[in-house]
Amino acid sequence: MRSKLSTLFDALLPVIATLAALAVGTVMLLLLKVNPIEAYAALWDGAFGSANSFAETLVKATPLLLVALGICISFRGDVINIGGEGQMIVGAVLATWVGLTFTEAPGWLIIALALVAGFVGGGIWGGIPGVLKAYFNVNEILSTVMMNAIAVQLMNFLLRGPMIDPAQAELASKIPQTARLIDEFHLARLAPTRLHAGALIAVVLAVVVYILLWRTIWGYRIRAVGQNPHASRYAGIKVSRYMVLALLLSGAFAGLAGAVQVYGVNYRMITDGSASGFTGSAGFNGIVAALFGQLHPLWSIPASILFGALLVGANKMQRVVQVPSALITVLNGLVVVFVVSSEIWRHRRQRRRLAAAGEEEAQPKPDQPQVQKEAGQ
């Protein structure tokens, strides 16, 4: 009974952290001389007020969820991928290239190829830091940051040069964007809103990633490496290989997010010269969503919807009570800080439980057998 209660408490920690962030947000709104109730009402209305706004929320949540799925994989493998922005960009570039090059092919084929291209592009962009970490001992935080900067420049170069929309190329003030994909290549709409099939794909993939992480040997090894690389090595797991795999898959899902953004929302690649000009910072916010979902692919679904709602609602809030939508970025940051800070209580209770169990049985069961079983294969 007590363990059930504490599981519930664990699950509620992120919610408590969000409430705490919203409380700080309330204070900030008061300081900005804005009625918080009015502001949050606008936020809610903007995110869930009508079928259209709810659809917008889901549209915003889709890339967050895809990025978050990748983050679940890499963070479980104890590799920190903050290169989601760059991986989204490279995935989107490859996917867009597919759609703009093979205009004669049937729609279903191109969409499928484009999604694969996005997956591969992001995979390459995540795989490089993976290889650098595993075989050259280059810290992945740094290399993914650098790869972000490189991807942005690559995008700007391509969108201003080789891949520019022919219509824009003739104008004096060229908007960096590609030509529009033909209608046959657009991801299907799910309702008379902007909601597209990408959302469905993301949810299906959440289940796939869950199965991958907890029901397959690769997932098991990625998590084992994440929890204890030394023990994993003794157990015969090729640690380097699984580090690369974790980052590669993580990048691949971000790349897919980029492809879905192009084929489901914009129908072209467009930017303002910055990474967020294309990604809308989904590469970063996806990390927030994954953490909020406790690095669990299925919990990442509601988490992504929550943050999608915050982003969409923020626009409405900006219009109604004139609070800059940057407030939401602040709250996102606070949610992350509060969530990681609240972990301490979970750890404390876990230890207390272990200590109690240790007193009951003279010898607590060590975790070893699991790892040894792995070695036998």
Partner 1 sequence: MITELFSTTVLIGILASGIRLATPYLYAAIGETFSQKSGVLNLGVEGQMLLGCFAAFYVTFTTGSLWLGLLAAIAVGALMGLAMAFVTVNLRAQQGISGIGFYLFGLGMSDLLFQRLMGTVETVQGFPKIYIPGLSEIPGIGEIFFNQNILVYGAYLLVPLAWFVLNKTTLGLKIRAVGENPDAADSLGVNVARVRYFTIILGGILSGVAGASLSIALLNVFQQNMTSGLGFIAVALVYFGAWHPVGVLGGALLFSMVNSLQLWVQVLGIPIPSDIAVMMPYVLTILVLVATVSRVRAPSALTKPFERDE
| Positions in the binding site for partner 1 (CB under 8 A) | 32, 80, 82, 132, 136-139, 141-143, 145-150, 153-154, 156-157, 160-161, 274, 284, 287-288, 291, 324, 326-337, 340-341, 343-344, 347
For residue 64, CA distances in Å to 37, 85, 134, 149 come to 27, 11, 27, 20
Query: Toward partner 1, which CB reaches closer, 154 or 203?
Result: 154
Residue 269 Cβ, how far from partner 1 at the closest point, in Å? 15
Helix residue spans in 171-236 (DSSP H)? 197-215, 217-227, 229-234
Query: Toward partner 1, which CB reaches closer, 108 or 135?
Result: 135
Best CA proximity match to 263, nearest among 186, 191, 204: 186
Task: Identify the helix (H) or strand (E) that includes residue 103.
Answer: none
Query: Toward partner 1, which CB reaches closer, 260 or 323?
Result: 323
In whole angstroms, what is the distance from residue 88 CA to residue 363 CA? Answer: 49
Residue 136 Cβ, how far from partner 1 at the closest point, in Å? 5
3-state secondary structure of 61: helix
In whole angstroms, what is the distance from residue 335 CA to residue 30 CA? Answer: 19
Using an 8 Å Cβ cutoff, are 79 and 239 in contact? no
In whole angstroms, what is the distance from residue 177 CA to residue 159 CA? Answer: 5
Residue 173 Cβ, how far from partner 1 at the closest point, in Å? 17
Query: Toward partner 1, which CB reaches closer, 57 or 332?
Result: 332
In whole angstroms, what is the distance from residue 52 CA to residue 55 CA? Answer: 5
Residue 93 Cβ, how far from partner 1 at the closest point, in Å? 13
Query: Toward partner 1, which CB reaches closer, 158 or 187?
Result: 158
Query: Toward partner 1, which CB reaches closer, 303 or 328?
Result: 328
Residue 180 Cβ, how far from partner 1 at the closest point, in Å? 22
Residue 255 Cβ, how far from partner 1 at the closest point, in Å? 19
Query: Toward partner 1, which CB reaches closer, 48 or 345?
Result: 345
Using an 8 Å Cβ cutoff, are 180 and 270 in contact? no
In whole angstroms, what is the distance from residue 331 CA to residue 43 CA? Answer: 13
Best CA proximity match to 252, nearest among 79, 350, 127: 127
299 phi/psi in degrees, rounded to 5: -65, -20
Residue with tokens 């994993």: 232
Query: Toward partner 1, which CB reaches closer, 67 or 115?
Result: 67
288 forms beta bridges with none
Using an 8 Å Cβ cutoff, are 331 and 25 in contact? yes
Residue 334 Cβ, how far from partner 1 at the closest point, in Å? 6
Residue 221 Cβ, how far from partner 1 at the closest point, in Å? 22
DSSP structural state of residue 185: G
